[in-house]
């Protein structure tokens, strides 16, 4: 890595200082993928009213975000990452040397990785309505001094994108985005970017996503929401964050997690394996590995996620419908001028290949530059998050200038 | 020159002279997108390729060529009539499971269809079966049976009979000899190793093609 990178931009992120205080690496890192290393989150505080698509107004918003890599002179090498329902702004690197886990897309983003931070300036923010530092239902309403709770406006994918647009233009001062990339709800954001700000974004890479939430996907979200609102500690949304509707939220997460996997993937990963040294004394203690795994997923989720945010974000996903009342996806996607690659995953039954294909069908019918590729994988919806050389090749080739 | 390159060049050279500046082209079985990339660079066409194979789709994406990884028939179904100026099947017909359905759709979504295929009726193939009782293996069919992909091979006579029976107009025909380079002037059913056609629906008022452009100079290679 060249020494010149030290003269980074003020928002260059913690990596830069981390790299610069050390001697240059003796082994060339050109060929081997590296790590973005230590990173830190920043807050974009926008002290003016934010108008939601619903017509509601938030008096001010904060977006927590991270960036990796460096902006070039022309300021045209920025890539925005959209995160999924339970994701956040921390998609690569680590916050502390003691962190055991790195950002959620660390396999995809970094020096020499498919989204190459040696070439691109990568941005990811926690969505509006989230609970990882951006303004959401747990944030304090400056007008009342109390948490918004259910007074938080119903937000949409479009609102998330508009907030990102404010971050990118007002805080980072960028004139253009090289690409918007995201899976699942992040893919919805990519599509929304392409039609809301067509002149601003050159490439869109939605994956494992849909232009319209299906009845089945809405159904799963609804069961999750009912689990939360029927938890006695829900209390109409007025709960102490330390004593929230944890059981309901954990059940919602456990069920949702099943939709992110696949029959075959679970068979391979768990089969009918029993919990090692199980001390199960009753019939309903965890007996199978898969039960234990789901309980762990539920438990760890309640430590990092807010139940009201979960309700709001799943509602934003459920209402996402680019087909519109006329059922014409072309009409929604006609404004898109960016080059598009949609990627589907063979075993994804939450947002199946056909949904990703339909996006490309509509764009092609409009005469746009669009491609569709399908990656074979047994790991269901979460396939976009795991190691996949085929996906890596698609991403790096599509993003190449 | 490598034989694969000769094959690729032949189609590319001839079909490129047929396609006009800025036209809309759908390439069925586009492979790695070489033809569409060439047409985009030389003729500024709007191109879309279709291929079943992920590796090939990825190669198209690397070239900046639009590609739809999937089934050609299902992709054509999304398009209105005459959405493309050209639909191209370059060395694709032998892979088709339902050629009639594909040609019906191709002639619907395309004003014209360009087809190029290896002639199974080539004289060496005939001799091979006659004398050796074995499937042909020669310069036109260089692969062993177990490696080959000529699942639904077609001969010049068969294809032209198909066109005649189905009201498909053969606007242009180019026959090449076994070396895939020199023109074959007579006895094409027997002597041609490769055949190219520009097709349209006889019933539709497609404006006539301009005079046949001069043959590219592949014969000098």
Percent residues over pLDDT 90 in chain B: 68
Place of tokens 């080059």: A339
Distance CA A157, CA A136 (A): 14
- For residues A83 and A184, the answer to whether their CB atoms sit within 8 Å is no
**Residues 6 or more apart from A335 whose CB is under 8 A from it?**
A194, A195, A198
Average per-residue pLDDT for chain B: 88
DSSP bridge pairs for B27:
B49, B88
Contact assignment for B54 to A341 by CB distance below 8 Å = no
What value does the mean pLDDT take over residues A274-296?
85
- Reading the block at residue A388, the tokens are 């996949």
- The CATH number covering residue A137 comes to 3.40.50.1820
What value does the mean pLDDT take over residues B126-138?
85
Q: What is the sign, positive or negative, of the torsion defined by CA atoms of B68, B73, B75, B79?
A: positive
Tell me, yes or no, whether A171 and A286 share the same domain: no
Does B127 score more than 70 pLDDT?
A: yes
SS3 B9: helix
Query: Which of the 8 DSSP states describes residue A133?
Result: S
Does A8 score more than 70 pLDDT?
A: no
Average per-residue pLDDT for chain A: 92
Tell me, yes or no, whether A193 and A229 share the same domain: no
What per-residue confidence (pLDDT) applies to A15? 36
Distance CA A80, CA A205 (A): 10
Does A131 score more than 50 pLDDT?
A: yes
Does A363 score more than 60 pLDDT?
A: yes
CB pairs < 8 Å spanning A and B: 52
What per-residue confidence (pLDDT) applies to A243? 94
Does A294 score more than 70 pLDDT?
A: yes
What per-residue confidence (pLDDT) applies to A276? 79
Q: Which of residues 336-365 of A touch B (CB under 8 A)?
A: 339, 341, 357, 360-361, 364-365
Distance CA A343, CA A357 (A): 8
Range of the domain at A296: 217-314
Distance CA A149, CA A236 (A): 9
Tell me, yes or no, whether A22 and A121 share the same domain: yes
Domain ends where: A254, A282, A314?
A314
Distance CA A148, CA A156 (A): 17
Does B220 score more than 50 pLDDT?
A: no
What per-residue confidence (pLDDT) applies to B150? 58
Tell me, yes or no, whether A304 and A345 share the same domain: no
Which residues of chain A make contact with B62, given a CB cutoff of 8 A? 397, 400
- Reading the block at residue B215, the tokens are 């043959």
What value does the mean pLDDT take over residues A24-35?
54
What value does the mean pLDDT take over residues A325-330?
94
Tell me, yes or no, whether A208 and A222 share the same domain: no
Tell me, yes or no, whether A229 and A347 share the same domain: no
What per-residue confidence (pLDDT) applies to A200? 98
CA distance A354 to chain B (A): 11
Contact assignment for B68 to A360 by CB distance below 8 Å = yes
pLDDT tens digits for range A35-56: 999 999 999 999 999 999 999 9
Tell me, yes or no, whether A254 and A274 share the same domain: yes
pLDDT tens digits for range A183-224: 999 999 999 999 999 999 999 999 999 999 999 999 999 999
Domains in chain B (CATH in brackets) are 3-202 (3.40.50.150)
Phi-psi region of A308 (alpha: psi -120 to 50; beta: other; left: phi over 0): alpha
- Reading the block at residue A208, the tokens are 């494992």
CA distance B182 to chain A (A): 37
Contact assignment for B70 to A372 by CB distance below 8 Å = yes
> Which residues of A carry out catalysis?
184, 348, 381
- For residues B169 and B91, the answer to whether their CB atoms sit within 8 Å is no
CA A245 to each of CA A85, A248, A305: distance values in angstroms, whole numbers, following the listed order? 18, 6, 11
- The CATH number covering residue A230 comes to 1.10.1740.110
CA distance B180 to chain A (A): 32
What per-residue confidence (pLDDT) applies to B146? 81
Distance CA B220, CA B218 (A): 5
**Residues 6 or more apart from A61 whose CB is under 8 A from it?**
A45, A46, A50, A128, A134, A135, A163, A166
What value does the mean pLDDT take over residues B204-220?
54
Tell me, yes or no, whether A138 and A283 share the same domain: no
Contact assignment for A398 to B57 by CB distance below 8 Å = no
- Reading the block at residue A303, the tokens are 């430590």
Tell me, yes or no, whether A44 and A184 share the same domain: yes
B contact set with A (CB within 8 A) = 24, 46, 48, 54, 57-58, 60-62, 64, 66-70, 75, 78-80
Which residues of chain A make contact with B58, given a CB cutoff of 8 A? 373, 390, 393-394, 397
Tell me, yes or no, whether A116 and A52 share the same domain: yes
For residue B56, what is the enclosing H or E element? helix B54-63
- For residues A68 and A92, the answer to whether their CB atoms sit within 8 Å is yes
C-alpha dihedral, A39 to A261 to A324 to A207, nearest 10°: 50
What per-residue confidence (pLDDT) applies to A5? 35
Does B164 score more than 60 pLDDT?
A: yes
What value does the mean pLDDT take over residues A160-175?
98
Contact assignment for B79 to A376 by CB distance below 8 Å = no
Domain ends where: A280, A314, A348?
A314
- Reading the block at residue B31, the tokens are 């492979």
Per-residue pLDDT band for A340 (boundaries 50, 70, 90) equals very high
Residue from B32, B55, B69, B77 whose CB has the most chain A CBs within 10 Å, to mutate: B69
Does A27 score more than 60 pLDDT?
A: no
Total of domains in chain A: 2
What per-residue confidence (pLDDT) applies to B10? 80
Does A283 score more than 90 pLDDT?
A: no
Tell me, yes or no, whether A67 and A171 share the same domain: yes
Q: Which of residues 164-193 of A touch B (CB under 8 A)?
A: none
Closest CA to A9 of A176, A125, A171, A203: A171
Which residues of chain B make contact with A364, given a CB cutoff of 8 A? 48, 66, 68, 75, 78-79
Tell me, yes or no, whether A292 and A204 share the same domain: no
- For residues A82 and A104, the answer to whether their CB atoms sit within 8 Å is no
What per-residue confidence (pLDDT) applies to A257? 97
pLDDT tens digits for range A62-71: 999 999 999 9
pLDDT tens digits for range B56-106: 999 999 999 999 999 999 999 999 999 999 999 999 998 898 999 999 999
DSSP string, A290-301: HHHHHHHHHHHH
What per-residue confidence (pLDDT) applies to B147? 79
What per-residue confidence (pLDDT) applies to A277? 72
Domain ends where: A314, A332, A366?
A314
Q: Treating both helix axes as pointing N-terminal to C-terminal, what angle do A307-319 and A185-196 enclose, rounded to 10 degrees?
A: 50
Looking at chain B, which residue has its C-alpha nearest residue A367?
B46
Contact assignment for A369 to B75 by CB distance below 8 Å = no
Residue from B28, B55, B58 whose CB has the most chain A CBs within 10 Å, to mutate: B58
């Amino acid at each position: 890595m060249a020494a010149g990178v030290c003269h980074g931009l003020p928002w260059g992120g913690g990596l830069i200082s981390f790299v610069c205080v050390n001697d240059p690496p003796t082994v060339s890192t050109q060929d081997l993928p590296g790590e973005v290393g230590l990173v830190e989150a920043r807050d974009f505080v926008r002290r003016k009213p934010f108008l939601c698509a619903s017509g509601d107004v938030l008096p001010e918003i904060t977006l927590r975000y991270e960036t990796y890599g460096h902006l070039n002179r022309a300021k045209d090498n920025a890539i925005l990452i959209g995160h999924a329902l339970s994701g956040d702004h921390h998609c690569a690197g680590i916050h502390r040397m003691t962190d055991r886990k790195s950002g959620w897309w660390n396999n995809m983003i970094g020096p020499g990785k498919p989204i190459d931070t040696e070439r691109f300036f990568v941005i990811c923010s926690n969505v509006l309505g989230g609970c990882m530092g951006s303004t959401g239902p747990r944030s304090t309403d400056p007008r009342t001094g109390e948490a918004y709770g259910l007074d938080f406006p119903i937000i949409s994918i479009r609102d998330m994108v508009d907030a990102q647009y404010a971050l990118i233009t007002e805080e980072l001062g960028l004139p253009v985005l090289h690409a918007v990339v995201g899976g699942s709800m992040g893919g919805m954001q990519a599509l929304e970017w392409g039609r809301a700000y067509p002149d601003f974004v050159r490439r869109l890479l939605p994956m494992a996503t849909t232009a319209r939430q299906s009845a089945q996907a809405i159904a799963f979200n609804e069961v999750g929401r009912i689990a939360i609102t029927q938890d006695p500690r829900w209390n109409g949304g007025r709960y102490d964050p330390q004593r929230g509707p944890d059981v309901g939220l954990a059940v919602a997460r456990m069920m949702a997690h099943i939709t992110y996997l696949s029959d075959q993937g679970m068979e391979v990963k768990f089969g009918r394996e029993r919990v090692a040294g199980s001390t199960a004394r009753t019939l309903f203690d965890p007996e199978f590995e898969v039960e234990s795994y789901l309980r762990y997923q539920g438990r760890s989720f309640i430590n990092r996620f807010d139940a009201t945010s979960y309700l709001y974000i799943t509602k934003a996903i459920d209402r996402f419908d680019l087909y519109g009342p006329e059922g014409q996806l072309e009409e929604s996607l006609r404004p898109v001028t960016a080059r598009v690659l949609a990627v589907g995953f063979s075993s994804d039954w939450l947002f199946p290949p056909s949904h990703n294909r339909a996006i490309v069908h509509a764009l092609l019918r409009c005469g746009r530059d669009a491609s569709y590729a399908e990656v074979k994988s047994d790991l269901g919806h979460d396939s976009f998050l795991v190691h996949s050389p085929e996906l890596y090749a698609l991403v790096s080739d599509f993003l190449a200038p | 020159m490598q034989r694969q390159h000769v094959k690729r060049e032949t189609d590319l050279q001839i079909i490129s002279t047929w396609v006009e500046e800025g036209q809309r082209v759908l390439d069925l079985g586009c492979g790695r997108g070489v033809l569409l990339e060439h047409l985009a660079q030389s003729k500024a066409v709007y191109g879309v390729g279709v291929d079943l194979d992920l590796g090939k789709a990825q190669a198209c994406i690397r070239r900046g060529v639009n590609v739809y990884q999937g089934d050609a028939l299902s992709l054509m179904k999304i398009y209105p009539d005459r959405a493309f100026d050209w639909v191209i099947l370059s060395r694709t017909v032998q892979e088709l499971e339902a050629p009639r359905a594909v040609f019906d759709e191709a002639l619907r979504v395309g004003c014209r269809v360009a087809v190029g295929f290896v002639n199974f009726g080539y004289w060496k193939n005939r001799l091979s079966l006659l004398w050796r009782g074995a499937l042909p293996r020669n310069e036109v069919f260089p692969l062993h049976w177990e490696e080959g992909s000529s699942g639904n091979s077609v001969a010049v006579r068969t294809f032209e009979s198909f066109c005649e029976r189905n009201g498909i107009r053969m606007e242009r025909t180019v026959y090449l000899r076994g070396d895939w380079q020199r023109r074959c002037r007579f006895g094409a059913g027997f002597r041609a190793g490769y055949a190219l056609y520009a097709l349209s629906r006889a019933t539709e008022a497609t404006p006539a093609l301009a005079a046949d452009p001069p043959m590219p100079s592949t014969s000098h290679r």
